Structure 1
Amino acid sequence: MTDHTEKEPLPMSQSAAARDEKGRRKAMLIRAPIYIAGTHLFAGFVILLLFLDGRRLSQPWSGTTSWEMTLPAES
């Protein structure tokens, strides 16, 4: 019979663990601003869409489109 126990991972040296931790921290410091900026850009785009939709639907009963409301009145 064979023993199917999992082997324990070898412990890392102190310097290797410190390098690994520094690498993870550096990667996090790079990823975090990218994720934050991307989230803000997406939220800004959604807000812009809602703003433009609100302008278009401000008077839905008038039967005019948004570009017709911006034209000067003819005399």
Structure 2
Amino acid sequence: MPESVQHLIGPGLCATLSTYSTFSSENLRLAETGSRCFAIANVGVSLVAGLGTAYLGRPRPGTPRVNKGSSRSGGAP
């Protein structure tokens, strides 16, 4: 695996795990302290916001694809 990919994946996985851990512990804390409605609302709002953001970021029909692999504009190098 190229080193540049390792530098991208490593911090990304750490950030994902810490975010998930914080989300879990906050919801558990809410549920244990008697705020179950807030815990359920937090999970629901987070799911809707995450899925909504993924939906908005999807490719749309008719949208031109950008070829990020090519840095040439068709002229001489």
TM-score interval (norm. to shorter): 0.3 to 0.5
Structure 2-normalised TM-score?
0.41
Structure 1-normalised TM-score?
0.42
**Which structure: larger Rg?**
1
